[in-house]
Amino acid sequence: MNRMWAIVEREMRKFFRSPVLMIMSMMLPIVQLIILGNAYGGKIRGTHVAIVDHDGGPQAVKVREACDAVTANIATFKTIDYADDRTAREDVRTGKLDAAIIIPPQYSRRVYAQDAPRLGLVVDNSDQFTSGSIEDEVQSLIDALNAPVIQAPIVKTIALEVVELYPYVSYMKFLLAGSCALAMYISVMIGGGMLYIDDKARGVHEGYLVTPISKLELVMGLNIAGAIKAVLSGLSLTVIGSLMAGLGTIFHPMQMLELLVLIVGISIAFNGMMFLMMVRVDDPLVPRAMFGVLNTLLFFPSGAVYPIFAFPKWLQGIAIVDPFTYAIHGFKSILLKDGGFVAIQYDLLFLFAFGIGALLIATPLFKRTL
């Protein structure tokens, strides 16, 4: 066992002597957290919507006043008057406008006559986020116009009462789980993948192989060191990211304990996976070439940036066997929901089983000779 710890000691001395690995493993997740966290999840504001009023009646004025209220308050769009709908449609098509509301002739009369009054909305649906937001806003505006002026004493329609369990979760908070897992993945990729192959290529492993160290001691030494590095990266990013996202989790000892156990599980799973992939690789270019592919293949299907339920079946299949999925779920359960060990028990089970299973497969594949 002393030999195994000698390998761990060597790896950790190198790690602390050169902080590059730590910095590099946290650089991308932090930048991603800052940029994506601020870029996504905000409300759409300041779009340009044309109003083409062919009616000019009192009900058309009510529509225009409702639009002005949107402009003055939530500011999803500001209105521009257009004389004809053809020009408005062309300007939407060419990107000068984001949408156009068409008030047809006889609109007011049809409203008073309750004769199927209709408003037109032309949207640029090449941008689903913006068009969806304008549609939602105009729909809520129409719902308000449809509401009776005097409410009936007995409500006959079905109402939905939504109860939000947690305070508002900004996109940065939502993304934090993914960033923590990504930092650990990069640490494992560099510390357990690239440096492992580089050491092999530089003959460092040849130096180990002429000593009486056993295959198991060598495998365990390399993996324990890799897991410790990933734990340190994970903990560092969890603390830094929580402070940036405004989460107080790190100030609660019990949640920190849960996070520590989860991070250890993730480290073992990621490290086992990486060691299994690299166990027979000799070319230093391979882990570098695999970095981007693996990142896309494992990170994006995990639910870190978009819900898994929205994926097609084949992508959900990848998510089921992807350790990232369980890492993200575990992080969200603790960071956003304070769910305790009950909420992460299956994540922990998968992560530890995955990591140990990968190491059990990798150990016989590891060559004790060159």
Partner 1 sequence: MTERAPTNPSQPVSARNGNGKPAQMAMAVENIVKRYGTFEAVKGVSFNVAEGEIFGLLGPNGAGKSTLIRMMTTLIPVTSGRATVAGFDVSKDPDAVRRVIGVIPQALTSDPDLTVEENLAIYAKLYSVPRTEREKNIAEVLEAVDLTKWRGAPTKTLSGGMRRRLEIARGLVHNPHIFFLDEPTTGLDPVSRIAVWEMLNKLKSNRNLTMLLTTHYMEEADKLCDRIAIVDHGNLVAIGTPSELKRGVPGANVVEVHFDRDTEEWRARLEKLTGVTSVQPESAGFYRVLTSSGSQTTMELVELAASLGETVTSLSVQNTTLDDVFVHYTGRQLRDEQVKPMMASWAMLQRPGDQR
* Span 202-231, contacts to partner 1 by CB under 8 A: 202-204, 206-214
* Span 16-35, contacts to partner 1 by CB under 8 A: 17-18
Q: Which CB, 9 or 136, lies closer to partner 1?
A: 9
**Among 89, 173, 200, 332, contact with partner 1 (rule: CB under 8 A):** 200
**Among 282, 320, 360, 364, contact with partner 1 (rule: CB under 8 A):** 282
369 binds partner 1 (CB under 8 A): yes
- Piece in contact with partner 1 (CB under 8 A), picked from 63-71, 193-201, 301-309, 319-327: 193-201
Q: Which CB, 203 or 364, lies closer to partner 1?
A: 203
9 binds partner 1 (CB under 8 A): yes
Q: Give the C-alpha separation, 243 to 241, whole Å.
A: 5
Q: Give the C-alpha separation, 328 to 174, whole Å.
A: 10
126 binds partner 1 (CB under 8 A): no
Where does the chain have alpha helices with state H? 2-17, 20-39, 58-72, 85-93, 107-113, 128-146, 171-187, 195-202, 204-209, 215-245, 253-278, 285-299, 313-321, 323-335, 340-365
- Closest approach of partner 1 to the CB of residue 12, in Å: 11
**Among 3, 62, 78, 288, contact with partner 1 (rule: CB under 8 A):** 3
Q: Give the C-alpha separation, 127 to 249, whole Å.
A: 36
Among the listed residues 185, 178, 302, the one whose alpha carbon sits nearest the alpha carbon of residue 241: 178
Write phi, then psi, for 77 (nearest 5 degrees). Answer: -145, 160
Q: Which CB, 132 or 207, lies closer to partner 1?
A: 207
Do 158 and 308 touch, CB atoms closer than 8 A?
A: no
Q: Which CB, 3 or 64, lies closer to partner 1?
A: 3
Q: Give the C-alpha separation, 244 to 177, whole Å.
A: 13
Binding site for partner 1 (CB under 8 A): 2-3, 5-7, 9-10, 13-14, 17-18, 198, 200-204, 206-214, 282-284, 369-370
